[in-house]
Structure 1
Amino acid sequence: MEPSKLTQYLCYQLYHARVLLHSLHYSAKEEEIHEFRVTLRRIRSLVKLFLVGSLPFPKPLKAAMQESNSIRELDVLIRSLSRSKYPKLYKYLFKLRKERVKTLFTPKYRDKTLALIDEYSHLLSHSNPDFLSEILIQKVLTHYQHCLDSYLALENDADSKTLHRLRIEFKDARYGFEFLEISDLHHCKEVIAHCKQLQNTLGAIQDTVNQIDLLKKIYQQYPLSETKELLQKQKKVLQKLKDTTRSELSSSI
């Protein structure tokens, strides 16, 4: 039986994750880790949209991806730093990242995750989930409308957790539309751009919250004046982002 467009797309993404995982074992560059995480997140989003009741995304594979969260947060923080302004902190963070990469991306982690990817890929290929194009399109459009309704219903003082959850919902919509676009089922480049825009708006707050939490932990382990200075700066950035988001919510979409 010929694989459906959904099966082809998901199995290709799993294959791509497999290739990236081999690269991580040898180099673990920031862009490779990010792409590996995005690829698995893309699969999770499509499973959530189309297959959550029949072929749920494996919890162990989700856990394997989440194990790289701390490295991703370090990468985001390091990239945002001025090396000349925060030399000691930069050096410490770089060393910490190197240690965490060495601890995580071991042959055991690689083999375990590869086995999970292969197992889920085989399951998808064997099941070959197929839907009418109209159903795939409608599922994504319905989810997108739900996202827009939730965005419009947000209170001006919505907390960061609420904004983060909605950010994830917009990611799901975006990856759904990207699948439709690439599979030539529905042309939606403008909607994809809109999802990215709202995703970035909502995500800026959560990224800053994550950085503040990370800096607090680092300051406890390795108290530097540079860390304290950056922590205070990020708190001000967070407040400004919240104020900006409130303003955007007040004026609607």
Structure 2
Amino acid sequence: MKTKVLADYIIKELNKAINTLPKIDKNSDIEVLHEFRVSIRKSRSLIKLFFKKEKTIEQELKEIVTQTNTQRELDIFLISLENKKKSQNLYSKIKLQRDKAYDKICSEEFRNKSKNKLLNIIQKILNFEYFYTNKSLIKTAHKQYKESQKRFKSIDSSFSSKQLHKIRIAFKQSHYALQFIQDSKLKNENKKIRRCKKIQNYFGKIQDLTNQLDSLKAIYENEAKNKKYLKNIKKREEKLTKAKKKLLK
């Protein structure tokens, strides 16, 4: 039987993002922004995988979520510094950056533009003429998962951070596709989803440390010989090396 269950699922996620938009604030729980980003990323990922011709919609969703990247990265950085007395000065600097970044996405301009874009995308999806059988949806999700696994097994020590990031994105796409299959009760995919999450955590650690190194270099741009800066850089570079080694095991 042909179905529009996928389109309905994506619309539900986009409505969730719209409802979350007004709740995003620098004083709100960081999970609020995270939930907004997940809804957008999940929708974008599913469109990219199942509706390959809809590049305009996929690009519009990318533009929305990209504007929240810095805020999320700084949220993660702050969490890594919590309860560390020796890092209070750095914490204050990151917090200041983070609050300024949040001001941009808490503005009425960002909220209204994003909401209107999302509503427009929902209308386009409602007019989709795509129809999939449940079997073909499962087949596409499984194919993506197998390709992600294959790429993961090909990783070696010569892979750059950029190459690793691409494989991480492939696993996110697999995760979201399998989660859709699971949530829609088309097939039990718990085992594969757990596998995706485990691998994503490895990649996530590498990405977080890479982002933190970039933030540190930006903060101490004019203080290259600052001892605290050099110590923080060294600490994260060591952690990054360990995280990459763990990925290769």
TM (norm. structure 2) is 0.91
Query: CA-to-partner distance for each residue in 1:165-221, whole Å, 9 max, x for gaps?
Result: 001100000000000001011111011000111111222212211111111111116
Output the CA distance in 2 between the equivalents of 1:29 and 1:225.
33
Residues 79, 174 of structure 1: alpha-carbon distance in 2 compared, 3 angstrom cutoff: same
Residues 134 and 31 of structure 1: CA distance in aligned 2, closer, same or farther (over 3 Å): same
The separation in 2 between residues aligned to 1:206 and 1:96, in whole angstroms, is 19
The answer for the alignment partner of 1:162 in structure 2 is 163
The answer to whether the Cα contact below 8 Å between 1:47 and 1:56 also exists between their aligned partners in 2 is no
Say whether residues 1:206 and 2:207 are aligned partners. yes
Moved more, 101-110 or 19-28: 19-28
Residues 179 and 70 of structure 1: CA distance in aligned 2, closer, same or farther (over 3 Å):
same
For structure 2, list consecutive stretches of 5 or more residues without a partner in the other structure.
none
Give 2:4's aligned residue: 4
TM-superposed deviation, 1:55: 6.4
Structure 1 equivalent of residue 183 of structure 2: 182
DSSP 3-state at the match of 1:118: helix
TM-score in terms of structure 1 length = 0.90
Amino acid at match of 1:199: Q
Structure 1, unpaired ranges of 5+: 249-253
Q: Which moved more, 1:206-215 or 1:20-29?
A: 20-29
For structure 1, which segment, 24-33 or 71-80, has the greater mean C-alpha deviation from structure 2 after superposition? 24-33
Total equivalences in the alignment? 246
Larger RCO: Structure 1 or Structure 2 (Cα < 8 Å, ≥ 6 residues apart)? 1
My pick for the range that moved more, 96-105 or 64-73, is 96-105
Judged with a 3 Å threshold, the aligned counterparts in structure 2 of structure 1 residues 46 and 61 are, in CA distance, closer, same or farther, namely closer
**1:156 & 1:55 partners in 2: Cα distance?**
34
SS of the residue 1:186 aligns to: coil
Distance 2:229 2:54 in 1: 47
- Corresponding residue for 2:130? 129
Tell me by how many angstroms 1:158 deviates: 1.4
Report the secondary structure of 1:168's partner residue. Answer: helix
Name 1:14's counterpart in structure 2: 14
Q: Classify the secondary structure of the residue corresponding to 1:57.
A: helix
